[in-house]
Amino acid sequence: MGRDGVVYTETVVHAAPEQYAADAPYQLAIIELDGGGRITARILDRSEIGERVRFLEERNGVAYYQK
Amino acid sequence: MRSVAVIGIGKTTFGAFADRDLRSLAVEAVENALRDAAVGPKQVEAFYLGNFAGPSFVGQNHLAPYVGMAAAFQGIPCTRFEDACASSGSAFFHAWQSVAAGIYDVVVAAGVEKMTSQSTPRVAEILAGAGDMAGEGRAGATFPALFAMIARRHMHEFGTTREQLAAVAVKNHANGAKNPLAHMRKVITLQQALAGKPIAEPLTVYDCSLISDGAAAVVIVPLEQAAHYQARYAKVLAVTQTSDHVALDHKADITYFPAVKAAGEKAYQLAGLGPKQIDVAELHDCFTIAEIIASEDLGFTAKGQGGPFAASGATAIGGQIPINTSGGLKSKGHPVGATGVGQICDIVMQLRGDAGERQVARHRIGLTQNLGGSGATCVVTILEAA
C-alpha cells in the first residue's frame, strides 16, 4: 500500500496546543511513504525510527498509523 | 552599494511584564537605541519593525506606525516585517538594504513581541502558525514537537545524546544568569536539565526557550557617516537572508538547516572571512538542538559533531567560539519578534567590550544567526568592531 511506510522521525507530545490538549500525550511522526514522499501523522502504538507502520484511517484531515 | 554601520543599540529587559503593553516595550527599545546613537527621532528616515504575531497575541495590527508615531517619528515609512522568529532579523536585513542602496541615511530596525498575556497552550497554538497549518499543524505539531523530531533524527544519525542537549541549556543559563537584561537569571545543573518536565520527547522544559515579552532596536547609517554619531559603531560586514520549506516533512534531510548553511556561506563570502575568524556568536537556540545544528551549519564544528562540541566547553565563555554569551533564547528569553535585532544588540555590546563579566577576550568580529520556524527563514549577520 502506498500509504504505509517507515518512521523517519518521531516524538511524543506532552505539551499540546490548546485544540489537542485532550489527546496528550500523543505520538507524532514523519513517515516515509512506500509510494514516495513523507507525511506528518499520528502513531497510535508508539513506534521508533526505522519501524514499519500501517495506515489506519484519516480523521479530521489527520492520518493515523499503527504497527 | 554603501557599507553600513550600527551606531545605536537599545533593548528592554526580556521577561513577563503583566503591566506593559507591546507599544511601550517597543518605544522603550527605540528610545534607548536613539539615545545610544545620539540621534533624535526627527532625524530617522524609515522604520522597519519585526513582529511575529501581535495580532494573535494582543489583537493589534498595523503595528509599525502604531509604534513609530509613539516614538515621535515624523510621518516616515513605517513597515512591519513578519518571518516567524526571524521577523526582526528580516527587518534588519531590509533596513540594511535601504541604507546600503543609498535610499536613506538614518534608519531604525526594531523587533517586539508581547507573548505572556496568553496561556501557554494558546501560545503554543499561535507559534504553531509558523509551521504548515494544513499539514504538520493539523496533525498536532507544536514547535517543541518539530524540534523534538529534528533532535531524534540527529541523535539517530550522529549519536547525539540527551546529555549533550542539556549541556547547551546549562551553558546558556550560566551565561544568562550574569545578564541583567535576561528573563531567567538562574543557573541550572545537568541533572536538573535532564530531569525537566517532558514537553515533546526527548525535549524537556529545559531544552525549550522561554515565552517572553520584550523589544530591541538598532540605529544604522552609512559607514562613512558613523563616526560622526558614535565612536564605538560596529561595521556590518555582511547580512544575508535565505528561505526554505515551511513544512518539516518537505525537507529531504532534517539534520541540518539548508537556509542556515546557505545564509552562513554567503555571509562568510561577503565578509571575506570564515568561521575561524568569528570571535563570538549569538545563535538561535529556540531549542537546545537548534544551537547544536546551527554550530555545525555555520562551520564552527563538523556536521554531526555539534553535540560533543557543546559538551566539550568549546562554546562557553573562554572556549574556542563563545556562543550565546547573552544567555541565548533559552535564558535571556525569546520574545520572538524581538530576537533577531536583540542578538545584534548583544553582539555589538561584546564588540564594544561592554559585556561585563560575560565579556569575551577577543571581540573584533561577531556573528548572529536568527532562524524562522523550523528553518524556513534564516538571517545571518557578521559585524566588526570599529
Residue A1 confidence (pLDDT) above 60: no
The structural domains of chain B, with segments of one domain joined by +, span 4-118+212-234, 139-202+236-385
Cβ-Cβ pairs closer than 8 A, A with B, add up to 95
Residue A65 confidence (pLDDT) above 90: yes
**Residues 6 or more apart whose Cβ sits within 8 Å of residue B28:** B10, B12, B215
Which pLDDT tens digit goes with each residue over B352-368? 999 999 999 999 999 99
Which pLDDT tens digit goes with each residue over B193-205? 999 999 999 999 9
Residue in chain A nearest B122 by alpha carbon: A18
Q: Is position B334 annotated as part of the catalytic site?
A: yes
Q: Is position B154 annotated as part of the catalytic site?
A: no
List CB contacts (< 8 A) between A25 and chain B. 198
Whole-Å CA distances, B74 to B42, B67, B70, B71: 6, 12, 10, 9
* Closest to B218 measured CA to CA, from B95, B113, B65: B95
Q: Is B142 on the interface with A (CB under 8 A)?
A: yes
Q: Is B248 on the interface with A (CB under 8 A)?
A: yes
The count of C-alpha atoms lying within 13 angstroms of the C-alpha of B350, restricted to the half-sphere facing its C-beta, is: 31
- Looking at every residue in chain A, the average pLDDT score rounds to 95
Q: Which amino acid is at B336?
A: V
Residue among B121, B122, B145 whose CB faces A28 most closely: B145
Residue B76 confidence (pLDDT) above 80: yes
Q: 3.40.47.10, 3.40.50.150, 3.55.50.30, 3.40.190.10: which CATH number matches B4-118+212-234?
A: 3.40.47.10
Under a CB-based contact definition with an 8 Å cutoff, are residues B221 and B109 in contact? no
- Of A17 and B93, which is predicted with more confidence? B93
Residue in chain A nearest B126 by alpha carbon: A17
Cell of B18: 503583566
Q: Is B249 on the interface with A (CB under 8 A)?
A: yes
The whole-number pLDDT of residue A18 equals 84
Under a CB-based contact definition with an 8 Å cutoff, are residues B353 and B201 in contact? no
Residue B220 confidence (pLDDT) above 90: yes
The count of C-alpha atoms lying within 13 angstroms of the C-alpha of B149, restricted to the half-sphere facing its C-beta, is: 29
Cell of B316: 562557553
Under a CB-based contact definition with an 8 Å cutoff, are residues A3 and A63 in contact? yes
| Burial state string for B116-137 with b = 16 or more CB within 10 A and e = fewer than 16 | bbbeebbbbbbbbbbbbeebbb
Cell of B246: 515551511
Where do the domains of chain A lie, and which CATH numbers do they carry? 5-66 (2.40.50)
CA distance B286 to B290: 6
Total-model pTM: 0.98
Q: What is the mean pLDDT of residues B152-175?
A: 98
Q: 3.40.47.10, 3.30.70.260, 3.40.50.1980, 1.10.3720.10: which CATH number matches B139-202+236-385?
A: 3.40.47.10
CA distance B64 to A26: 40
Same-fold call for B4-118+212-234 versus B139-202+236-385: yes
CA B238 to chain centroid: 16
B346: enclosing H helix or E strand: helix B339-352
Alpha helices in B177-299 (DSSP H): 190-194, 223-229, 258-271, 288-297
B-interface mutation test, from A6, A7, A8, A9, most B Cβ less than 10 A away? A9
List CB contacts (< 8 A) between A49 and chain B. 152-153, 156
Q: Is A30 on the interface with B (CB under 8 A)?
A: yes
Residues in chain A: 67
From the candidates B208, B334, B345, B363, which is the catalytic residue?
A: B334
Q: Is A61 on the interface with B (CB under 8 A)?
A: yes
The whole-number pLDDT of residue A17 equals 87
CA distance B91 to B80: 8
